[in-house]
Structure 1
Amino acid sequence: MTIQTVDPRALRDAFGAFPTGVTVVTACDGDGNPIGFTANSFTSVSLNPPLLLVCLAKTSRNFATMTGTPHFAINVLSETQKDVSNTFARPVEDRFAAVEWAKGSAGCPIFSNVAAWFECAMEQVVEAGDHVILMGRIESFDNSGRNGLGYARGGYFTPTLASKAVSAASEGNIELAAVVERRGEVLLLGDDVLCLPSVDAHDGNPTEALQEYLETLTGLKVSIGFLYSVYEGKSDGKQHIVYHAVAGDGEPAGGRFVKPDALAAAKFKTSSTADIVNRFAMESSIGNFGVYFGDETGGTIHPIPAKGAKA
């Protein structure tokens, strides 16, 4: 896609391919009231002097306050704080009632249980198209050692869950599979008996191996998203790792895209496949996804909201 024909939504999706952390930017207004918003457009800038930046949309309701404040703070959320991210990404009235916080030395709200925080003096406000860049000079900070919450392609991911997946499957034959979706439809293989596309894992990066397999199978561009299911297959003796993935436009060379609501009478290769497809259909309808850990007969789902972080 050239810049002359750019679709803003497509460009936003392309930006979303870059995994980021999730932060809540905080300050106080002229009356001393706390304000805050979720942002993943945050990065370090310099060690000497200590500088960082975050981007703010000009349409933000916090625009006037944030561009005029002498101090602001960056709260880097930990992987247990998805609910905090969602709260500060939405127009909730008393956001700060839902989080434990205290004022920093410059008066900015600092959250408890974050991965890290930085309190800054406003160094510079830079015009940047439909956003501004808030450049902050760090005056105080702390690092808790907790893992940060991640965000990529419209969904949260957590480092601990990802490492648990590899650990859980490290001692057996590993099969990689994917729920490949496109505009609400799911890619399935087979005619009378349906299954998800899958490949045996070998040495190397599992997501790269899965992406290569899916792109060879379909002839389409495929992006691997968040971890979706990790389970032990008692019937086949394999450890199964299933990812969410998104396919590009075009007719797939292998498999076909099917609407999940058209599969009520479908026959699947395994009950696990049926469970995964049915769960995906239900979760995508409400916009909240989870990672399943267990076996073919039972396990637990760790909720991972699919939307919430915004630049």
Structure 2
Amino acid sequence: MTLQLADPRALRDAFGAFATGVTVVTAQDADGRPIGFTANSFTSVSLDPPLLLVCLAKTSRNYATMTGAKHFAVNVLSEGQKDVSNTFARPVEDRFAAVEWQAGAAGCPILGNVSAWFECATEKLVEAGDHVILMGRIEAFENSGLNGLGYARGGYFTPILASKAVSAAAEGNIELGAVLERHSEVLLIGDDVFSLPTCDGKDGSPADILRDYLEELTGLSVTIGFLYSVYEGKSDGKQHIVYRAFASEGEPRNGRFLKPDTLAKTHFKTSSTADIVARFAVESQLGNFGVYFGDETVGTVRSVPTKAAQP
């Protein structure tokens, strides 16, 4: 897609392919009250002098306060703080009442249990289209050693959770599968009886193996997303690892894209496939995805909220 043809939403989705961490940027207003917002547009700039930057939309309700503040802090959220991210991304009346925090040396709110925090003096403001770049000179910081919360393609992910699930499943006979989506439709294989695209696992990265298989199967460009289901198939003796994946434009070489919420009376190859498609249909409507752990019939879904991190 050329830039001339790109609409803002498509461009935003393309930016979202780059995985980032999640931060909450905080400061004090003129009356000494704490303010804060969720942002994933955070970047380290320099070690000497110690500089970082964060981008703020000019439409943000925090714009006037942040651009006028002499100090601000960047709190890098840990992998268990999805709720904190969502709190500061929504128009909650008193965001700070729901979190643990204390004032830093310069008065900026420092959140508890974060991966790291940086308190900065405002060094420079740089105009950047519909955003402004806040560059800060770091005056104090702390690194807790906790793993960070990840964010990409509109959803949160926790790298430690994903790696543990894959390691556990790798002890058995692995089958890799994908909920391959495009424009809210899912690729299904078959005519009268449908299945998700699957391949045997082998030595190497499961995500790379699955991507190569899907690209060969469909003739499309494929991006592997995050884990969607990890379960033991008691009927086939296999460990199943299912990822969300995203396909490029074009007609698939095999299979067809169908809307999951129209497939209630469809025949599927296995009951677990039917369950995955049905869950995906519901979660797509809610915009709130999860990761299933268990076997073919019994398990739990660990919620992974997908509210976009916005300033």
Query: Could you state the TM-score of these two structures normalised by the residue count of structure 1?
Result: 0.97
Aligned equivalents of 1:256, 1:5: Cα separation in 2 = 26
Does residue 70 of the first structure (1) align with residue 70 of the second (2)? yes
Amino acid at match of 2:46: S
Aligned equivalents of 1:6, 1:257: Cα separation in 2 = 23
Aligned 8 A contact 1:172 1:238 in 2: yes
Write out aligned runs for 1:109-258 (5 A).
109-258=109-258
Equivalent residue of 1:166, what SS? Answer: helix
Q: How many equivalent residue pairs?
A: 311
Aligned equivalents of 1:137, 1:191: Cα separation in 2 = 61
Aligned equivalents of 1:174, 1:115: Cα separation in 2 = 34
Aligned equivalents of 2:21, 2:261: Cα separation in 1 = 34
1:254-295 Cα offsets, whole Å, 9 max, x none, are: 111122222222121111111111111111111111011111
1:152-178 Cα offsets, whole Å, 9 max, x none, are: 111110012111121111211111111
Aligned 8 A contact 1:55 1:133 in 2: yes
Aligned equivalents of 1:213, 1:7: Cα separation in 2 = 31
Give the aligned partner of residue 276 of structure 2: 276
- Cα deviation for residue 296 of structure 1 reads 1.1
Amino acid at match of 1:203: D
Equivalent residue of 2:93, what SS? Answer: coil
Does residue 304 of the first structure (1) align with residue 288 of the second (2)? no
Aligned 8 A contact 2:165 2:230 in 1: yes
1:211-238 Cα offsets, whole Å, 9 max, x none, are: 1211221122222112111111111111
- Cα deviation for residue 59 of structure 1 reads 1.1
Aligned equivalents of 2:152, 2:115: Cα separation in 1 = 18
Amino acid at match of 1:256: R
Structure 2: segments with no counterpart, 5+ residues: none
Amino acid at match of 2:11: L
- Cα deviation for residue 2 of structure 1 reads 2.2
Aligned 8 A contact 1:85 1:308 in 2: no
Equivalent residue of 1:61, what SS? Answer: coil
1:54-76 Cα offsets, whole Å, 9 max, x none, are: 01111111111111101000010
1:65-124 Cα offsets, whole Å, 9 max, x none, are: 111101000010111111111111111111111111111111000111111111111111
Give the aligned partner of residue 22 of structure 2: 22
- Cα deviation for residue 135 of structure 1 reads 0.7
Aligned equivalents of 1:259, 1:201: Cα separation in 2 = 28
Amino acid at match of 2:34: P
Give the aligned partner of residue 287 of structure 1: 287
Aligned equivalents of 2:302, 2:164: Cα separation in 1 = 12
Amino acid at match of 1:133: I
Aligned equivalents of 1:264, 1:87: Cα separation in 2 = 35
Aligned equivalents of 1:307, 1:168: Cα separation in 2 = 29
Aligned equivalents of 2:291, 2:72: Cα separation in 1 = 35
Does residue 55 of the first structure (1) align with residue 55 of the second (2)? yes
1:122-173 Cα offsets, whole Å, 9 max, x none, are: 1111111111111111111111111100001111100121111211112111
Amino acid at match of 2:183: R
Structure 1: segments with no counterpart, 5+ residues: none
- Cα deviation for residue 5 of structure 1 reads 2.8
Give the aligned partner of residue 83 of structure 2: 83
Aligned equivalents of 1:199, 1:168: Cα separation in 2 = 18
Amino acid at match of 1:136: G
CA-atom RMSD in angstroms = 1.2
Aligned equivalents of 2:18, 2:62: Cα separation in 1 = 26
Aligned equivalents of 2:30, 2:260: Cα separation in 1 = 51
Aligned 8 A contact 1:176 1:240 in 2: yes
Query: Could you state the TM-score of these two structures normalised by the residue count of structure 2?
Result: 0.97
